[in-house]
């Protein structure tokens, strides 16, 4: 039995699919508002009773079904659920197996009983706007903000200089030196004047670059355990210079333009949502364009036909698969003769064939992602890029 109150990694999903026990009860519990733990516990009880009724109608022994679901029944204590009130939960239960995942996205209450665990909810990416960072840059101040549905928090950067004037001083040769900051004048710029070594030397760009490098190093250390997107905020030239020095892999392309010094944390994060949403829209459009180019110019390398994709997934030919998170295609697939039967409504022993395609893709080390059907090319709720 495995209890992982976190999102599932690709390897963990692969291990789950590879388990041979049957039947599998895949049970999903939506998040509830704070203070409604008792209502959520009641809903979990209802889902469990529905699970037991469906197992009973399938001929599964009632006592064995209750024993199999016992670890989930223990979770109906509202005190146990309260800690995870704001997270969707996925329960996977089979004889001798209990797996619990905390989902990084919303999920609807549901029960699916079949020969295999139902994995599409584990393949849904977390909304990037649910957890992201904003780095506000200026010469006099730096802020790193973390925005989540729970609110906005300031992330400490103990190693970062508070501003350009907070830098340890060195002369242009790299040695410690006295630094005099000249005040800005109308039409001019403030900067550093270093005495000696052939006269006073003004090099504002080098100072700003050294400052931003120190900030970048501090940000990289602060975010070394996350993959959440980072939105930059600042005047254009500083943002551009920061990008050239950046060591964090998840800085997005767009940015919040203009000085952030007099902009509140809340306003910065609100603008960050808009920048991030536009960035994700571009990524979706780019992927669609690349896929449609493959369909047009290299049709053997891509497909939106489930009848072609299922055999390819079982053969390990699918490199990347998109399946609809918000729709099912019920039916049966026989890998021995590659026959497919499709049904408008689920019949006994039917599978969601989109989920089967995703399972086989993951088992053969391909990438499977569950997204809204509207984000998938074509109208079949599935799209695949083939390895060959």
Among 328, 329, 229, 245, CA closest to 283? 229
Q: Which residues sit opposite 367 in a β-bridge? A: 320
Taking a C-beta distance cutoff of 8 angstroms, is the pair 258, 235 a contact?
Answer: yes
Q: Residue 333 has which token pair? A: 């697939």
Residues 24-44 have pLDDT tens digits of: 999 999 988 777 888 889 999
The DSSP H or E segment spanning 230 is strand 230-234
| Domains by residue range for the chain, with CATH | 1-124 (3.30.960.10), 128-279 (3.30.420.60), 298-388 (3.30.1330.30)
Sequence-separated (6 or more) residues with CB below 8 Å from residue 109: 28, 29, 30, 43, 47
Residues 92-148 have pLDDT tens digits of: 999 999 999 988 778 899 999 999 999 999 999 877 777 899 999 999 999 999 998
Among 127, 54, 27, CA closest to 350? 54
Among 259, 248, 241, CA closest to 219? 248
- Say how far apart CA 279 and CA 350 lie, in whole Å: 39
Q: Residue 382 has which token pair? A: 């599935």
Q: Give me the numbers of helices (H) and strands (E) for the chain, helices first please.
A: 10, 20
**Residue 224 three-state SS:** coil
Count of C-beta atoms within a 10 Å radius of residue 187: 5
Residue 175, pLDDT above cutoff 80 = no
Residues 217-261 have pLDDT tens digits of: 999 999 998 989 999 999 999 999 999 999 999 999 999 999 999
Residue 8, pLDDT above cutoff 70 = yes
The average confidence (pLDDT) of the chain is: 88
Residue 76, judged by CB atoms within 10 A of its CB (0-12, 13-18, 19+), counts as middle
């Amino acid at each position: 039995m495995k209890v992982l109150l976190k999102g599932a990694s690709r390897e963990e999903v692969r291990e789950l699919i590879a388990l041979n026990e049957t039947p599998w009860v895949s049970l999903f519990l939506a998040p509830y508002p704070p203070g409604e733990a008792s209502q959520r516990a009641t809903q979990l009880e209802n889902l469990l009773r529905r699970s037991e009724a469906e197992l009973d109608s399938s001929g599964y022994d009632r006592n064995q079904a209750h024993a199999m679901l016992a670890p989930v029944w223990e979770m109906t204590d509202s005190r146990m659920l309260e800690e995870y009130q704001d997270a969707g939960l996925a329960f996977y239960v089979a004889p001798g197996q209990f797996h619990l995942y905390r989902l990084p996205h919303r999920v609807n209450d549901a029960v699916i009983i079949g020969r295999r665990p139902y994995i599409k909810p584990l393949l849904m990416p977390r909304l990037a706007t649910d957890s992201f960072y904003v780095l506000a840059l200026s010469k006099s101040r730096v802020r790193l903000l973390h925005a989540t549905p729970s609110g906005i928090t300031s992330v400490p950067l103990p190693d970062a200089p508070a501003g350009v004037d907070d830098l340890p001083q060195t002369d242009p040769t790299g040695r410690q030196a006295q630094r005099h900051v000249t005040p800005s004048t109308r039409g001019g710029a403030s900067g550093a004047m270093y005495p000696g070594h052939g006269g006073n030397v003004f090099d504002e760009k080098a100072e700003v670059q050294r400052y931003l490098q120190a900030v970048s190093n501090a940000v990289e250390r602060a975010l070394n355990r996350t993959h959440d997107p980072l939105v930059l905020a600042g005047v254009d030239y500083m943002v551009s210079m920061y990008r050239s020095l950046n060591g964090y892999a998840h800085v997005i392309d767009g940015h919040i333009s203009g000085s952030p010094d007099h902009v509140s944390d809340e306003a910065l994060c609100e603008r960050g949502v808009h920048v991030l949403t536009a960035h994700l829209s571009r990524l979706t459009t780019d992927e669609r364009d690349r896929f449609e180019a493959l369909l047009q110019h290299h049709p053997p390398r891509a497909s939106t036909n489930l009848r072609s994709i299922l055999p390819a997934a079982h053969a390990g030919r699918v490199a990347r698969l998109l399946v609809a998170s918000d729709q099912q295609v019920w039916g049966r697939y026989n890998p021995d003769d590659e026959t497919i039967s499709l049904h408008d409504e689920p019949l006994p022993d039917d599978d969601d064939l989109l989920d089967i395609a995703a399972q086989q893709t993951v088992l053969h080390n391909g990438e499977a992602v569950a997204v809204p059907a509207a984000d998938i090319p074509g109208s079949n709720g599935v799209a695949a890029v083939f390895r060959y």
